[in-house]
């Protein structure tokens, strides 16, 4: 647990909405339901978060592209289970000027059907495969449920979607594995803990063979899906007739995967590390990694400010993202709160005492612990402290999550845990769809799916029907 208390933590929803505005991350008061404005500071966090993802994808052979926002109805409708799920959820462009369009256009709810017609043109032979594309774009969904800032928007302003094409089913399976590793690396980089589950048949992506999802747990015990990986099989390639010529000269339909991560990843990192003082940002994604606050006693102000400026230059040279807060109309105490709220990992205080000793006072945001160090060793100390902080944030966050994943062997305990908002519950399951759905009904929670991140021998009986269990299944109240 954090050294900094989370006394208001049960009212997580309220906390989250407050920090979005107060910390200058997202303003959701835009006059259209489910739309929000990324504010400058939040935009920087968002950019850092998605840059990590971008780097991971680039380094694993993915190429970034940009497809049009609009998808013609004729394309969206080609894969039947896909359109069935999305047509009610789309925003439709029906007019150009005052002319009624003969074929209406959807604002992309996701881009499989935008990409498919182009793949048909691009993929000619086995030599073109694998083809691994991605884009970071906005998507639109006409949500009928209550919208929530970042968590459920009608315009998802940040959506990284990767779309890959392969020659064989096996290659696609390998790609799913790679995608899972990429996502693990991504969340690990931000110290966000997760569980990986194979979604049940009835909750997979429309048009997929199967779906794998990353879930985290929010402070209120609900889970938040933060990433998904889908094996699409040949569903789309057959619907769009995307074929390639094999080495033997035969035409075969391609095998596809897709996987996505949205702005929820930003919500996740804010949620996991935040506390009563506001946001706590891991140094890797913090727009400002260290803030220097002068404690300018009268008649020493000049001397102190100069020392601060020297330190600023020193840190900049060492590639530390640093901010010197020289605002004269604000007392140091106010500045502490100001930067704590915004999650700046490290604070450097320079006052008369420090100057006398040729020292700096350093405070880490996660624990608010103070220490002093010689100015000559400041860069090294700060870099080390940031590493320590990341390690500690990770340990704390994973410990918190691990404590909220429960294994029980009977329905009563499962129900109690869910009712008490204790997070994820794992029970044994026979593998039958009917039992799975009944489980959701009886417990009053959603099935997340079968664990993909633990290897375990199954020994026991299904909590619903009592037959021999085939799998562990995870259940939780999901956002």
Partner RNA sequence: GGGGUCGUCGUCUAGCUUGGUCUAGGAUACCAGCCUGGGGCGCUGGCGGUCCUGGGUUCAAAUCCCAGCGACCCCA
Residues that bind RNA (CB under 7 A): 13, 17, 21, 28-29, 31-34, 144-149, 277, 295-298, 301, 328-334, 336-338, 340-341, 347, 349-355, 361, 363, 368, 441, 444
Place of tokens 């330190």: 311
- 194, 216 contact by CB (below 8 A): yes
Separation between Cα atoms, residue 381 and residue 359, nearest integer Å: 12
- 2, 367 contact by CB (below 8 A): yes
Considering the complex, what minimum distance in angstroms separates the CB of residue 219 from RNA?
12
Q: Which is nearer to RNA, 19 or 162 (by Cβ)?
A: 19
Tell me the backbone φ, ψ of residue 250, rounded to 5 degrees. -100, 155
Q: Which is nearer to RNA, 49 or 363 (by Cβ)?
A: 363
Considering the complex, what minimum distance in angstroms separates the CB of residue 324 from RNA?
13
Considering the complex, what minimum distance in angstroms separates the CB of residue 362 from RNA?
9
Place of tokens 């037959």: 467
Considering the complex, what minimum distance in angstroms separates the CB of residue 184 from RNA?
30
- 362, 382 contact by CB (below 8 A): yes
Q: Which is nearer to RNA, 225 or 231 (by Cβ)?
A: 225
Considering the complex, what minimum distance in angstroms separates the CB of residue 71 from RNA?
22
The DSSP result for 267-299, as a single string, is HHHHHHH-BTTB----TTT-S-SEEEEE---TT
Separation between Cα atoms, residue 403 and residue 57, nearest integer Å: 32
CA dist list (Å): 378 to 282, 312, 314: 19, 11, 9
Considering the complex, what minimum distance in angstroms separates the CB of residue 273 from RNA?
16
Considering the complex, what minimum distance in angstroms separates the CB of residue 83 from RNA?
17
Q: Which is nearer to RNA, 11 or 124 (by Cβ)?
A: 11
Q: Which is nearer to RNA, 102 or 420 (by Cβ)?
A: 420
Considering the complex, what minimum distance in angstroms separates the CB of residue 136 from RNA?
24
- Give every CB contact of residue 310 below 8 A, 6+ residues apart in sequence: none
Q: Which is nearer to RNA, 232 or 311 (by Cβ)?
A: 311
Separation between Cα atoms, residue 14 and residue 149, nearest integer Å: 11
Separation between Cα atoms, residue 4 and residue 381, nearest integer Å: 22
Q: Which is nearer to RNA, 130 or 221 (by Cβ)?
A: 221
Q: Which is nearer to RNA, 160 or 273 (by Cβ)?
A: 273
Considering the complex, what minimum distance in angstroms separates the CB of residue 94 from RNA?
17
Q: Which is nearer to RNA, 17 or 184 (by Cβ)?
A: 17
- What is the Cβ-side half-sphere exposure of residue 287, based on CA atoms within 13 angstroms? 16
CB environment 359-370: b (16+ within 10 A), e (fewer) = bbbbbbbbeeee
Considering the complex, what minimum distance in angstroms separates the CB of residue 438 from RNA?
11
Place of tokens 């850092």: 48
- Give every CB contact of residue 469 below 8 A, 6+ residues apart in sequence: 428, 429, 430, 431, 458, 459, 460, 461, 462
Considering the complex, what minimum distance in angstroms separates the CB of residue 340 from RNA?
5
Separation between Cα atoms, residue 187 and residue 49, nearest integer Å: 10
CA angle 143, 146, 151 (to 5 degrees): 80
Least Cα distance to 472 among 448, 451, 455 occurs for 451
Q: Which is nearer to RNA, 327 or 399 (by Cβ)?
A: 327
> Could you tell me how far CA 452 lies from the centroid of its own chain?
18
- 134, 164 contact by CB (below 8 A): no
Q: Which is nearer to RNA, 34 or 423 (by Cβ)?
A: 34
Q: Six-digit token pair at 335?
A: 């500045």
């Amino acid at each position: 647990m954090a050294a900094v208390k989370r006394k208001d933590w049960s009212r997580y929803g309220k906390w989250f909405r407050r920090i979005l505005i107060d910390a200058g991350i997202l303003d959701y008061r835009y006059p259209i339901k489910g739309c929000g404005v990324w504010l400058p500071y939040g935009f920087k966090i968002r950019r850092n978060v998605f840059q990590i993802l971008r780097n991971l994808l680039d380094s694993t052979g993915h190429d970034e592209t940009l497809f049009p926002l609009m998808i013609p109805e004729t394309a969206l409708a080609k894969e039947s289970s896909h359109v069935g799920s999305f047509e009610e959820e789309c925003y439709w462009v029906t007019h150009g000027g005052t002319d009624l369009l003969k074929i209406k256009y959807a604002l992309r709810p996701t881009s499989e059907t935008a990409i498919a017609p182009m793949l048909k043109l691009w993929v000619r032979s086995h030599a073109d495969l694998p083809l691994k594309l991605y884009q970071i774009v906005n998507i639109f969904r006409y949500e009928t449920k209550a919208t929530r800032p970042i968590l459920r928007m009608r315009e998802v302003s940040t959506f990284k979607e990767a779309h890959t094409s392969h020659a064989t089913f096996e290659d696609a399976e390998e790609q799913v594995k790679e995608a899972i590793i990429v996502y693990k690396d991504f969340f690990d980089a931000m110290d966000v803990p997760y569980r990986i589950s194979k979604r049940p048949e009835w909750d997979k992506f429309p048009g997929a063979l199967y779906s794998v999802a990353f879930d985290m747990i929010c402070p209120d015990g609900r889970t938040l899906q933060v990433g998904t990986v889908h094996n699409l099989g040949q569903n789309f390639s057959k619907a769009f007739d995307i074929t390639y010529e094999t080495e033997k000269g035969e035409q075969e339909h391609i095998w596809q995967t897709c996987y996505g991560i949205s702005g929820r990843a930003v919500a996740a990192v804010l949620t996991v590390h935040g506390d009563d003082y506001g946001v706590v940002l891991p140094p890797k994604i913090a727009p400002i990694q260290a803030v220097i606050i002068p404690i300018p006693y009268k008649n020493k102000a000049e001397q102190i400010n100069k020392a601060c400026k020297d330190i600023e230059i020193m840190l900049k040279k060492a590639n530390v993202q640093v901010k010197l807060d020289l605002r004269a109309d604000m007392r140091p105490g106010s500045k502490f709160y100001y930067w704590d709220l915004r999650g700046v990992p490290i604070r450097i205080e320079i006052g008369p005492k420090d100057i006398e000793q040729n020292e700096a006072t350093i405070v880490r945001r996660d624990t608010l612990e103070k220490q002093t160090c010689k100015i000559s060793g400041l860069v090294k100390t700060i870099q080390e402290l940031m590493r320590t902080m990341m390690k500690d944030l990770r340990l704390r966050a994973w410990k918190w999550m691990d404590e909220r994943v429960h294994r029980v062997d009977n329905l009563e305990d499962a129900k109690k845990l869910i009712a008490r908002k204790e997070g994820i519950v794992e029970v044994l399951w026979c593998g039958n769809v009917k039992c799975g759905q009944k489980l959701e009904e009886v417990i009053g929670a959603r099935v997340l799916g079968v664990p993909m991140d633990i290897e375990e021998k199954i020994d026991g009986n299904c909590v619903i029907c009592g037959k021999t269990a085939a799998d562990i299944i995870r259940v939780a109240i999901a956002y």
